[in-house]
Amino acid sequence: MAICFKTCLLIDDNYIDNFVTRKILEGSNFAESIVIVRSATDAINSLRDGLVKPDVIFLDVRMPLMSGFEFLEEYDKIDFDKENIKIFMLSSSLDPLDLRKSTDNKYITQFIHKPLTQKALEELCP
């Protein structure tokens, strides 16, 4: 698979999930660069400060301190061009409310159930 994105930001508090997702992303050449942030708060600060400029974000739903949906509320307040950034909600949640909230959110491109697979990645490439 050819490289699809320049910078991928992975926001997930779970070390094992991050390890597995990174291996899948690296193995598929999905992005030139993969940045992992283990809290939504740190991700917001990194985006706000311009420390990371992703063109794709994988966002977990359930995290301590700030959930994926709370991240999206703060993300909305950051003043930078979001038009070309794809956000994929990557979660093990089976809660229909989470799925509906992600479908209704203008920033979420798609809800993907963990674990991320090679097949799912191939479908995400533009």
pTM, two decimals, is: 0.95
Q: How far apart are CA 90 and CA 111, in angstroms?
A: 6
pLDDT in tens, 59-71: 999 999 999 999 9
pLDDT of 126 reads 74
Mean pLDDT across 79-102: 92
Range of the domain at 118: 5-124
- For the cut 80, the answer to whether the pLDDT of residue 1 exceeds it is no
Beta-carbon count within 10 A of 114 CB:
17
Instruction: Assign residue 84 the CATH number of its domain.
Output: 3.40.50.2300
Query: How many domains are there within the chain?
Result: 1
pLDDT in tens, 39-87: 999 999 999 999 999 999 999 999 999 999 999 999 999 999 999 999 9
* Mean model confidence pLDDT for the chain: 94
Cβ neighbors of 14 (< 8 A, separation 6 or more) are 60
